[in-house]
Chain A
Amino acid sequence: MSEFPPGLILILGALLVPLLRGHLRNAYMLALPIVGFWGLLTIPEGQHFVFQLFGYTLNPVRVDRLSLVWGYIFHIAAAISIIYAFHIRDTMQQMAALIYAGAAIGGAFAGDLISLFVYWEGTAIASVFLIWATRTEAAYRAGMRYLIIQVGSGVLLLGGAIVLLNDTGSLVFGKMELKGLGPVLIFLAFGIKAAFPLLHNWLQDAYPQATVTGTVFLSGFTTKLAIYALARGFPGIEMLVWIGATMTAFPIFYAVIENDLRRVLAYSLNNQLGFMIVGIGIGTELSINGTAAHAFSHILYKALLFMSMGAVLYRTGTIKGSELGGLYKTMPWTTGFCIVGAASISAFPLFSGFISKSLIITAAAHEGHWIVWLILLFASAGVFHHSGIKIPYFAFFQHDSGKRPDEAPMNMLVAMGVAAFLCIAIGVFPGYLYDILPYQVNFVPYTTTHVVTQLQLLLFSALAFGWLMRTGLYPPELKSTNLDFDWSYRRLLPATIKAIDRIYVPADRYIRSMFIRRVEHFIEAVFRHHGPESALARTWPTGSTVLWVAILLALYMIFYFV
């Protein structure tokens, strides 16, 4: 029992969920990731469960230091999210969440492209139920768009795998050169799931539509599986440095003006993925370590932020910045946990983001990517601005909205507490995280230079926020929809189809009417000859009719006989 494919415990375990009720079900669901985590601690590195299928070798479980980082954090994220969702009485959501987490874990250990594809699609299909579980028209539509894009990514992956198999004869999922159709298709598949610029919008579209607990699950797995896949398949690809840098900077402008606070978090999630992708693109041991460490701490603080906003949504029924404010008075614990998450994502010293993001930024500076380095610093300041300050400020402080909701339920507080504890623990004792990274770490995060410069960057960003607020220059939270790239397929594409329709319909009508006129002419002509007044319509003697009937009968009989 010590060797069991990671992830499969959660996927198979989900099937028994409907048989259990109440607390027993909760305890059982929490036990699954704990048992799975235990399995990871005992499973030896190497390939497991290798088998042949149609003459091809599949290795569904590859355990090494890179996959283990993701394996650990996925299990922890699953456990925390399950606690957060203890109050849920919705079998569909619970099963979907378990299968989703299990598929993501399985994907992180997939040693060949076909296994990866199976888990890849598994995450797509299971997770969409967390969006649909909101059971609104908007959620249904957003879920549909999400599903099409996610499944599309899987299809590209499968296509790439088949082309690659044709070219190289191997399905092994390892480091690839970005040359030829196969790797390009796979790169694109990863890029969609990792929310590359212009391929990103499914994220901001779908995540805010999911249920309170669903978004917490979603924030952890899909995009981070893609980050893992990129780190495994395409480390050191120069293009990724620039893609990542764009991702760190581009979404934060949207985050500043977005009113839906869960969508603000989705934009900042996108920005954090950018840091990880820069790390992959640089491709040195330091930067890959940075990506792994940042994925680890990011999953925790992002889940924590989504949990705190979920608690607000759960208690007040809204998550719009324009309708919130002053909640710290009755939700002090949630406020506190949110601030811990905000400090972590902003990379304040003693919080988790500080010890992980600095690996990537240092690597960028060290490798001479000075423009990228400047962008990353700007994005770091920006993260603090919109996630670190804006999220807690607009939800819990600003002007008093008059809302006096109860504190979040106990299970939510426990889940947030565990995540907050881990955020601080990682920040204070980075050695434990550094020990599990893929490569040996020779990096000291807490130097005077580093702490002081980071504090300057952050505190002056706070100063900017304060100054803009006090002078009234800061854009107020407005009820609005901000057009992003999804506009192209939600508006432009349908509008184009309608425009084509507008040209096509009259043309079609003209052609039809012309055709109908021809038919009418024909009918008129027939009418002239056969109508009541025509030659063929004159009354004939009965005899001739009998004759005609006889002829017809004869013809019929001849044909029948022949």
Chain B
Amino acid sequence: MADQQKPAEKTYWLDVKTNVDKIWYGLIGICALTVICDLFYHKHLEYAVEDFIPGMYGWYGLGGCIFLVLSAKILRKIVGRGEDYYDEEEQGDE
């Protein structure tokens, strides 16, 4: 495979660190925008908690994802094994 084609490779937009920062701050900006949106329309909701504070869904998603990732890190400590965990045993059965 043509893995290594070193000579004078084109620099992509995403290769520049400041551009990645731009995406990050852009994302924060859009998130803020969706929260502000909440102030300007009437919500059709099933539960009162959905309109507890502006951007309720956002905060729930943010909290949920942080919880997801941090508990997954703990899960990895419990269930994580070497890549060839099953190989040795099953080869040994031959």
Contact = CB atoms under 8 A, between A and B. Distances in A.
Contacts of A256: 68-69, 72
Interface string A436-466: 0000000000011100111111111111111
A282 to B, nearest CB: 14
A468 B76 CA distance: 16
Given A254-B75, A449-B45, A491 B89 contact: yes
B22 interface: no
B82 A475 contact: no
Contacts, number: 169
B75 A257 contact: yes
A329 B87 CA distance: 35
Contacts of B55: 456, 460
A456 B65 CA distance: 13
Contacts of B41: 448-449, 452
B79 A484 contact: yes
Given A253-B68, A494-B89, A494-B93, A449 B43 contact: yes
A484 B15 CA distance: 37
A464 B2 contact: no
Given A257-B72, A377-B60, A385-B69, A482 B80 contact: yes
Contact of B66 (A405, A452, A468): A468
Interface stretch (A33-41, A109-117, A396-404, A513-521): A396-404
Contact of B2 (A406, A452, A462): A406
A329 B12 contact: yes
Contacts of A378: 60, 64, 68
Nearest to A467: B66
Nearest to A458: B61
B72 A460 contact: no
Nearest to B38: A452
Given A365-B47, A404-B3, A460 B81 contact: no
A401 B83 CA distance: 20
B44 A447 contact: yes
B4 interface: yes
A381 B81 contact: no
Interface in A319-340: 328-329
**Interface size grouping (class) on chain A:** 35 or more
Contacts of B66: 464, 467-468
B30 to A, nearest CB: 6
A454 B60 CA distance: 11
A382 B87 contact: no
Given A456-B61, A478-B80, A490-B86, A253 B75 contact: yes
B24 interface: yes
Given A406-B2, A479-B83, A480-B82, A456 B72 contact: no
A509 interface: no
Given A257-B72, A382-B65, A459 B47 contact: no
Nearest to B76: A257
A453 B82 CA distance: 41
A449 B86 contact: no
B73 to A, nearest CB: 5
Contacts of A402: 3-4
Contacts of B71: 253
Contacts of B37: 452
A397 B76 contact: no
A486 to B, nearest CB: 9
Interface of A: 137-138, 141, 252-254, 256-257, 315-317, 328-329, 365-366, 370, 373, 377-378, 381-382, 385, 397, 400, 402-406, 447-449, 452-468, 470, 473-475, 478-484, 490-491, 494
Interface of B: 1-5, 12, 14-15, 24, 27-28, 30-31, 34-35, 37-38, 41, 43-47, 50, 55-62, 64-66, 68-73, 75-76, 79-87, 89-91, 93
Given A256-B72, A373-B47, 20 more contacts: A256-B69, A316-B1, A328-B12, A381-B61, A402-B4, A404-B4, A405-B1, A449-B45, A456-B31, A456-B35, A460-B61, A460-B65, A466-B27, A468-B65, A470-B24, A474-B69, A480-B76, A481-B84, A482-B81, A484-B79
